[in-house]
Amino acid sequence: MSKVEVYVTYKKSILDPQGQAIKAATQKLGYSEIQDIRVGKYFEIEVDDEPQTAVKKVEEIAEKLLANPNMETYKVEVVQ
Amino acid sequence: MSKVEVYVTYKKSILDPQGQAIKAATQKLGYSEIQDIRVGKYFEIEVDDEPQTAVKKVEEIAEKLLANPNMETYKVEVVQ
């Protein structure tokens, strides 16, 4: 059994209103050090396969289901 | 400048309907190896501080703003 993580975020060129709203909230709480916040989706996927094959399968799934290629980029990482 | 990542997921005891829906979609696409999918939120935060202090500040922000302590858990990691 393998555990794979996927991180999906907006491309840098895409405005992230949710991130901007959270940043404004942190400023109100007094955290002036916060320069930027970008919000994305995070997936923990358990795959009944060994890691190399699991990663290939999850990359296919990320491409087809988890990320919108026009606006988002994704990263896939094996955890175990 | 430090870059800190936060991962927020539902506690194990909490049902994750979104994860279940995506799992069902992967099964339809023929990925029968997928055993479980859990969906969460992912934050990339840039902090104008050195890493140790940045992590402490982001943990406070995660506790106050990013995660609902009743239903969610969070992990904080320094990237650079």
Give the model's pLDDT for residue A80: 78
Task: Give the tens place of pLDDT for each residue, A44-67.
Answer: 999 999 999 999 999 999 999 999
Reduced to 3 states (helix: H, G, I; strand: E, B; else coil), residue A19 is helix
- Look at B46 and A34 and tell me if their CB atoms are within 8 Å: yes
A20: closest chain B residue by CA: B45
Residue B3 has pLDDT above 90, yes or no: yes
- Look at B22 and A47 and tell me if their CB atoms are within 8 Å: no
- Going A66 to B24 to A42 to A4, the CA torsion angle's sign is negative
Which chain B residues are Cβ-neighbours of A67 within 8 angstroms?
Answer: none
Its ipTM equals: 0.87
Burial class of B22 by CB neighbour count within 10 A (0 to 12, 13 to 18, 19+): buried
Q: Which of A27, A28, A43, A52 to mutate to test the interface with B (most CBs of B within 10 A)?
A: A43
- Look at B33 and A48 and tell me if their CB atoms are within 8 Å: yes
Please give the CATH architecture assigned to the domain spanning B2-78.
2-Layer Sandwich (3.30)
Task: Give the tens place of pLDDT for each residue, A2-44.
Answer: 999 999 999 989 999 999 999 999 999 999 999 999 999 999 9
Among candidate residues B6, B50, B33, the one with its CA nearest the CA of residue A26: B6
